[in-house]
Amino acid sequence: MKSYKRIIFIFLAFVFVKGILSLFVVTPTIYSDEYMYSKLAQSLATSFHYDVHNIPQNAYPPLYPLFLAPAYFFFTDMTLIYFLMKFINAFLSTLIIIPAYFLSREFIGSQESRNIAILVGFLPLSFSFTPYLMAENLFYTLALFAIYFIYKSELTSSTRYYALAGVFIGAAFLTKALGIVLCILVGLLFIKNVLKKEKVHWKKKFITAGIISLMLFPWILRNLLVFGFSFSSILGRAYTSELGNTTRQTLFSNLWNGALWSVIYIDILIFASGILFSLGFIRFMKQKNKNEQEQTFFLITLLFMFILLFIAVNHNLHGGFKEDNLLNLTGRPIARYTDVLLPLLIIGGYLGLQKQNLDKWKLPLSTKILLLLFLAIGSNLLFFPLLPVNNLSISFLGVVQLFLQFLGASLLITSLLFSLGIVFFTWFILSYLFKKYNLNTILIISLFGFLLLSLLNVSIVAYNSQKNWYSLEQVQLGKWVQNNIKPDKTLAFDEDGCTSRSVQDPLSICSPAKQTTLAGFWIYNDITIAKNPEMDTDYFISRKELPYIKVHTTESNINVYQVS
């Protein structure tokens, strides 16, 4: 009981600290995802529809907006609502320490499991995502809960674990389409059971599948009724394009880029785990005396890694060629696709480091050569932007990259210096850290390392929001509307002003798809986008000169008209 009380205290401390730090982020910076999630949450809260600007949506699964929706129950001031949404994020993302604790507890003692849970809580995937209105805040937590119950269902015949696995897999899928990786994982484990002629609990497997199906059915039915019968109606238009990625380049290009990106994403996992826990996972992988629990955990982690790598690599196959890198890669690195694996690497790495005397461990020559080859290929990461939000877990590389470029180093020199630095750091871990300190001390050092990285990320997004976003003309326009127009009035943006999705285009006031507007985030009022004011429109926002009462004009002549 004392252990659980401590976990609750740790949980509340994390939520409080993350909530306070999020106050320094004064405006969203991920346009247009944060806008879409916030407006979908408002739509659910105020009308229980799932639309933005009265346009039905299916590209964003509904569970995360549903969790944000309560922020709109109590206030109409978007400043307060924005803070509440970030506080909800702090709560949802911190919940990940609970499955991290229970999964660790399967192998190690209570105190060590709490330490692992705290370390996972400081990972950027949990700590640094709070200021962003992004589904990862919920998805990472649900995914780790699902992994824990999948693990338990593989080891026991208890019906509750099969049922809970189904609940959390379904919930993860309703949060991000990436949740499909959990369905694939369960399918592969089932195939393994059949091929190895292990006992298969058919009825309980059907319970898992049935619960997933029941949870997804309302969402799929709604999409079919609204958008018609098609594959994009089920998964959403944003995700069905992924299926055709491998047909957009030549076979050689797909094989070349697929192999290289597979290595690079493994490098990303190595760097994101601080190298230390990846080395520990290598030890865990090579251990021959694993018990049943460890073998099951290792298999789940390995299968989960392969599935995630396949999806992440496939996403990169549709990008254009980036000519200024050494390997002529397509696409770009997106670490947040694979960050969900990091808690498992931390736990597996800890188990590997725990099993043997660290001061006597040496990497075999073949492993050293393979590791150096992987790291050399990984140096191509330095040819890509590595700052938040897509690469929170390796943003320290982005800072190093910017610093070296500030000193005048070319991208080639930067990547070479990076490779030398990583080799030195790996040597330092193996030759000095393992020999001088025990595992508990190394764990504390790692904890502070992840904390510093997470604080770096929060500082970057806070600076970005205050320096580059808050002062934007259209953000200030939205704040003016919030402060001067009653929330029960209706607004429309001029459709002719929807010329670009980019916030770098100062002439555009909304996106061509009529789904986002930079000013609109701060506007609680019902928003539509139309060519002319409708009969029930109270205010109209346009760059045109129109025969209505002009109540506000921005510096670049965006006009707010009172229509009725």
The count of other CB atoms within 10 Å of the CB of residue 83 is: 17
Region label for 228, one of left (φ > 0), alpha (ψ between -120 and 50) or beta (otherwise): left
Instruction: Please measure the distance between the N-terminal and C-terminal CA atoms of the chain and give it in whole angstroms.
Output: 63
Please say whether the beta carbons of 387 and 395 come within 8 A.
Answer: yes
Q: Is 52 helix (H, G, I), strand (E, B) or coil?
A: strand
pTM above 0.85, yes or no: yes
The confidence score (pLDDT) of residue 242 equals 54
Report the length, in residues, of the chain. Answer: 564
- Residue 440 C-beta-side C-alpha neighbours within 13 Å: 5
CA distance 27 to 370: 44
CA distance 174 to 194: 29
The confidence score (pLDDT) of residue 423 equals 67
Q: Is the dihedral of CA 334, 243, 147, 36 positive or negative?
A: positive
Please say whether the beta carbons of 378 and 391 come within 8 A.
Answer: no
Region label for 514, one of left (φ > 0), alpha (ψ between -120 and 50) or beta (otherwise): left
Residues 6+ apart with CB under 8 A from 268: 333, 335, 338, 378, 381, 391, 393, 394
The confidence score (pLDDT) of residue 433 equals 67
Distances (CA, A) of 154 to 73, 179, 262: 41, 19, 28
The confidence score (pLDDT) of residue 12 equals 95
The confidence score (pLDDT) of residue 122 equals 96
The rounded average pLDDT for each run of 10 residues, N- to C-terminus, in the chain (564 residues) is 83 96 94 94 94 91 96 93 97 97 94 94 95 96 97 92 96 94 94 82 89 94 87 64 56 79 91 87 86 94 95 79 67 91 95 71 71 77 84 88 76 67 67 70 87 94 94 94 94 91 80 90 93 86 93 94 89
CA distance 428 to 447: 18
CA distance 90 to 67: 12
CA distance 176 to 142: 10
Please say whether the beta carbons of 415 and 379 come within 8 A.
Answer: yes
The confidence score (pLDDT) of residue 507 equals 85
The confidence score (pLDDT) of residue 470 equals 94
The confidence score (pLDDT) of residue 376 equals 75
Tell me, what amino acid is at 334? I
